[in-house]
């Protein structure tokens, strides 16, 4: 690639040795979402070469794992990201991924245009391929891209596959003959385009989670949808059609793909009102009460609703999950066959997400389970449960990642968007808003008030020392017993596998040595977790007050939570001492 070659030559010419070392002396590793990094030259960046190397490693590993690899083939999808300065685009990287495999006589299902991320795991399962890759950096800043790997079960890879693939990548870093030949995509008889077929099957499967088609076709509610300059527009339009809705109103400035994301500070709908500005203004103009925002690769969903007082309510991931959990269970109850057993029903969430599903499950009699953070763990667990004849109605992670049903084993913003529309239309017939229904859910199952945010920290050693201090707080190998004035009941450390609440002091969730994560359970019923991000230079914190249904004084609960978070930041993260950057709201 002449552009990336030029970047390295310029650094060399200008004697930028530190930057050269940073770029060339380390390799990307698999995080919670596969490989993710900035686009540009160097082994720790996403570029033509590192994608070729990763795919060669994948080939080597898959050949070892599957004797029928060359019969079953491999799926490749991509989003709409790109960077002119390194002539690097998701589409080009997808073509190179396909070329490496086609040159080795592997059949490749390469989508002929951009698709939502969930289409890749869906295609892997439907086409019975051995694995798949999606070229995307989801909602990261525009400079980034990524390489997300799915296994034959349609879930993202988990340990030990990630470690083994990395080993294989390191064994074959020199491009093979044919690896650069992206013309193969146009000439090889082994390349197939699964777009029409997969889109048709996906839309057909959506019908399984549609319960009120008739009602949807008559609703007076209007919806605005923004796809954040990404892939979502066409697919959300189709999904609305399947559910019997009139099409949602698109935000014209954000409807078409644009790798520069020109109208938003960052392309992450999780950031709330500041990034939803255009869609909220359009909704007011069009008299639409609900805004649906899919992130650039359409695997996450943000929702906002106009309140009676003219203020917009942007729901958090945890609040939306409370609504989805209630809705999916309610629909199951109303449509189940006579002999269906509630004990066969499951809902899942990652351990840093709200415990609201646990409260609903306890009251209604179904099962709730937690997994490690990252949807890859949810996907794998769903697969196990389905193989044992169980039914999983809903799964989520608090960072607005939702999965209704089990047609896909990854979070899916397209299906989540249309399910919210159906839920809102159903509630509208009873003059209930989403916000009012959320209160109804909390009144019935107990208020769950949570807050999630983060600090930026670009220095890995600072991050490490923050967590090591917590492991050796007042004395060596002793975790803190208090946080300010708040007494700590239990500590669970996923990095080391310690859990003070278990009889054998060992964590039930698997150990995850590569990332930092400690959870504190407080005497007052609050649960707080500190962890590093698997995809960005962040220290995240999650805190939730879980109240019983008889505690309905929300002001009191909110005050207590705020005080606790302040204590957590001041005592455990020490932002000024550690030079952490506060999240800018």
Catalytic residue among 37, 54, 86, 138: 138
**For the chain, how many residues are written?**
585
Q: What is the largest CA-CA distance in the chain?
A: 75
Q: Give yes or no: 475 in active site.
A: no
What does the block give as tokens for 226? 């923004």
pLDDT under 50 in the chain at which residues?
585
- What angle, 0 to 180 degrees and rounded to 10, lies between the N-to-C axes of helices 434-445 and 317-335? 80
Q: DSSP readout, 215-282?
A: HHHH----EEEE-TTSSHHHHHHHHHHHTTPPPPEE-HHHHS--TT-TT-SSS-GGGTHHHHHHHHHH
- 3-state helix/strand/coil string of 303-336: EEEECCCCCEEECCHHHHHHHHHHHHHHHHHHHC
The whole-number pLDDT of residue 514 equals 84
Alpha-carbon distance of 340 to 151, in angstroms, equals 31
Please report the pLDDT score of residue 584 as a whole number.
64
Signed CA dihedral, 423, 424, 429, 431: sign only:
positive
pLDDT at 513: 87
What are the chain's domains? 2-201 (3.40.120.10), 210-444 (3.40.120.10), 447-582 (3.30.310.50)
CB 26 within 8 A of CB 43: yes
CB atoms within 10 A of CB 584: 8
Q: What is the DSSP letter of 1?
A: -
The pLDDT of residue 262: 97
CA distances from 248 to 118, 174, 225 (A): 21, 48, 6
Supply the pTM of this predicted model. Answer: 0.94
What is the pLDDT at residue 32?
Answer: 65
Nearest to 315 by CA among 326, 300, 329, 304: 304
């Amino acid at each position: 690639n002449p552009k990336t070659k030029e970047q390295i030559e310029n650094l060399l010419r200008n004697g930028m040795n530190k930057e050269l070392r940073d770029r060339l002396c380390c390799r990307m590793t698999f995080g919670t979402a596969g490989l993710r990094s900035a686009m540009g030259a160097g082994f720790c960046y996403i570029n033509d070469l590192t994608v070729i190397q990763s795919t060669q490693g994948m080939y080597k590993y898959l050949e070892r794992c599957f004797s029928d690899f060359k019969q079953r083939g491999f799926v490749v999808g991509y989003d709409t990201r790109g960077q002119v300065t390194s002539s690097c685009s998701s589409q080009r990287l997808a073509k190179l991924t396909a070329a490496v495999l086609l040159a080795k006589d592997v059949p490749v299902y390469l989508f002929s245009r951009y698709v939502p991320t969930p289409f890749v795991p869906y295609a892997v399962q439907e086409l019975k391929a051995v694995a798949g890759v999606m070229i995307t950096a989801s909602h990261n800043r525009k400079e980034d891209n990524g390489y997300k790997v799915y296994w034959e079960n349609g879930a993202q890879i988990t340990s030990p596959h990630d470690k083994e693939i990395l080993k294989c990548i390191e064994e074959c870093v020199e491009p093979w003959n044919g690896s650069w030949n992206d013309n193969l995509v146009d000439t090889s008889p082994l390349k197939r385009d699964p777009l029409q077929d997969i889109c048709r099957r996906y839309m057909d499967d959506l019908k399984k989670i549609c319960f009120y088609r008739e009602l949807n076709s008559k609703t007076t509610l209007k919806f605005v949808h923004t796809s954040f300059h990404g892939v979502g527009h066409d697919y959300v339009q189709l999904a609305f059609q399947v559910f019997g809705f009139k099409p949602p109103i698109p935000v014209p400035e954000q409807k078409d793909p644009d790798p520069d994301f020109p109208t938003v500070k960052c392309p992450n709908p999780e950031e709330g009102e500041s990034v939803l500005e255009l869609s909220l203004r359009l909704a007011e103009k069009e008299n639409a009460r609900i805004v649906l925002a899919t992130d650039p690769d359409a695997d996450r969903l943000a929702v906002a609703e106009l309140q009676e007082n003219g203020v917009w309510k942007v729901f958090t991931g945890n609040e939306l999950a409370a609504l989805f959990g209630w809705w999916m269970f309610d629909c199951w109850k109303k449509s189940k066959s006579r002999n269906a057993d509630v004990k066969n029903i499951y809902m899942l969430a990652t351990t840093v997400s709200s415990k609201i599903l646990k409260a609903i499950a306890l009251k209604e009699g179904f099962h709730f389970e937690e997994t490690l953070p990252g949807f890859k763990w949810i996907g794998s667990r769903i697969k196990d449960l389905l193989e044992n004849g169980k039914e999983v109605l809903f799964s989520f992670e608090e960072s607005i990642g939702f999965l209704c049903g089990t047609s896909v084993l990854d979070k899916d913003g397209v299906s989540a968007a249309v399910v919210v529309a159906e839920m809102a239309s159903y509630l509208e017939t009873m003059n209930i808003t989403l916000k009012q229904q959320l209160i109804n859910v909390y009144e019935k199952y107990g208020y769950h008030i949570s807050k999630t945010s983060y600090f930026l920290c670009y220095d890995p050693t600072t991050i490490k020392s923050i967590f090591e201090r917590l492991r050796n707080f007042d004395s060596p190998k002793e975790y803190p017993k208090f946080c300010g004035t708040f007494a700590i009941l239990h500590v669970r450390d996923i990095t080391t596998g310690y859990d003070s609440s278990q009889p054998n002091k060992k964590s039930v969730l698997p150990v995850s040595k590569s990332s930092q994560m400690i959870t504190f359970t407080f005497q007052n019923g609050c649960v707080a977790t500190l962890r590093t991000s698997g995809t960005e230079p962040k220290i995240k914190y999650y805190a939730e007050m879980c109240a019983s249904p008889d505690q309905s004084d929300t002001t009191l609960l909110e005050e207590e939570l705020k005080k606790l978070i302040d204590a957590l930041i001041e005592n455990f993260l020490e932002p000024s001492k550690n030079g952490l950057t506060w999240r800018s709201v």
